A = this chain, B = another copy of it.
Amino acid sequence: MATTIRDVARLAGVSTATVSAVINDTAFVSPPLRERVLAAVRELAYTPSQAARSLKHGKSQLIALVVSDLANPFFARVVWAAEAAVAAWGYSLVVYNSDEKPENERRIMARVRELSCDGVVVVPVGPATYRTQRDFDGKALPMVLFGRSVEDKRADTVTIDNVAAGRLVTNYLIDLGHRRIGTITGPLHLTTGRGRYDGMLQAMQARGLTPAPEYVRSGEFREEVAYSVAREILERPDRPTALYIANGVMALGVMRVLADLGLECPRDISIASTDTISGIGGLQPRLTRTEHPIIEMTNEALRLLVDRIDRGNDVQPRNVVFQPTLILGESCGPVVA
């Protein structure tokens, strides 16, 4: 802390420029001098100050990750993958949680600018993304939108094909003979909510079916929410024979309802979901679900980001969409009643 490049230079009997050259390997320094410098660095346990560096050439070696719900295991996993990715590039990861609140996102983006982070991966919060977008325009802060798409396609985005996910699961359920299929979806103003629901609708309509409105519920992607709305649906005497749950956290809530109501799956009802969470693998029965390649998605997002950091704004915006895979568990069976 107290030791600066000057101290090193003095001890080694050279100029600060030479020390800098040695440290950054940015110019040739004769072996003897080089050795003296390195010895001095070691002796003083000198660490260059990133603050001073940042000040000089505007790069902070920081990448920010702003997720919409850090309590969601899906995003926890994204954090994990992102940390590994940025570490490989030599960056450090600053993590923020917008908690689905636009005002938090605003505050956070201001902070990101303040820290002069070199780039940011954002899971945009609902309808207020215009704001993020504006920041993007104004400041040319390299940015990748993650997981949810927004109207404006001028940003780099990494998303999943939500419609395909909904379709995939629904087709599977229909093939098993189900006709009374219900669903618990996420907020319909998010592509992760809307898209999955639309996929389900498409699949049903393609087979001449329409979901009964009383079997359709939407709400926040949270376990308690899922618990209470699933309970409403499942306590009906004419409950659906199958339920499509829009995300992993919600699926947990639904499984809890089944346990509490004494329903057995898949005997009494079939359950399938999208966006499973790590750890859910231990559920009995294993859930039939679509999975997204979280790690690949995260790596791709950071690849795009670093590329934009390096090459600037002359890169065309890129929109990468990942496809879901249907994973069969034991939570779905042929239609009963």
Q: Shortest CB–CB separation between residue A164 and chain B, in angstroms?
A: 25
Task: Tell me whether A208 is interfacial, beta carbon within 8 Å.
Answer: no
Interface stretch (choices A92-100, A124-132, A146-154, A155-163): A92-100
Q: Shortest CB–CB separation between residue A136 and chain B, in angstroms?
A: 13
Within 8 A of B (CB), among A35-75: 45, 47-52, 54-55, 58, 60-62, 70-71, 73
CB-based contact B45/A55 at 8 Å: no
Are A60 and B51 also in contact (CB < 8 A) when A76-B76, A282-B283 are? yes
CB-based contact A49/B94 at 8 Å: no
Are A51 and B54 also in contact (CB < 8 A) when A92-B94, A252-B281, A255-B282 are? yes
Task: Tell me whether A213 is interfacial, beta carbon within 8 Å.
Answer: no
Chain A interface residue count: which class?
Answer: 35 or more
The CA-CA distance from A93 to B259 in the complex, in Å, is: 38
Task: Tell me whether A284 is interfacial, beta carbon within 8 Å.
Answer: yes
Task: Tell me whether A239 is interfacial, beta carbon within 8 Å.
Answer: no
Pick the contact of A84 from B80, B97, B110, B277 — CB < 8 Å? Answer: B97
Q: Shortest CB–CB separation between residue A217 and chain B, in angstroms?
A: 19
CB-based contact A83/B55 at 8 Å: no
CB-based contact A96/B83 at 8 Å: yes
CB-based contact B284/A73 at 8 Å: no
Task: Tell me whether A32 is interfacial, beta carbon within 8 Å.
Answer: no
CB-based contact B283/A110 at 8 Å: no
Task: Tell me whether A299 is interfacial, beta carbon within 8 Å.
Answer: no
In the complex, the chain B residue whose C-beta lies closest to that of A59 is B51
Pick the contact of A278 from B73, B79, B84 — CB < 8 Å? Answer: B73
CB-based contact B97/A80 at 8 Å: yes
The CA-CA distance from A70 to B83 in the complex, in Å, is: 9
Q: Which residues of the other chain, B, contact A54 by a CB distance below 8 angstroms?
A: 51, 54
Task: Tell me whether A207 is interfacial, beta carbon within 8 Å.
Answer: no
The chain A residues found within 8 Å of chain B, CB to CB, are: 1, 45, 47-52, 54-55, 58, 60-62, 70-71, 73, 76-77, 79-80, 83-84, 87, 92-97, 110-111, 113-116, 138-140, 249, 251-252, 255-256, 259, 277-284, 286
Q: Told that A92-B94, A279-B279 touch, could you supply 6 new A-B pairs with CB distance under 8 A?
A: A54-B54, A62-B94, A76-B76, A255-B282, A256-B282, A284-B284
22 cross-chain CB contacts under 8 A:
A1-B140, A47-B110, A47-B114, A49-B114, A49-B116, A50-B114, A51-B54, A52-B55, A55-B55, A61-B115, A70-B79, A70-B83, A71-B80, A73-B76, A73-B279, A76-B80, A83-B96, A87-B97, A95-B95, A259-B284, A280-B282, A283-B283
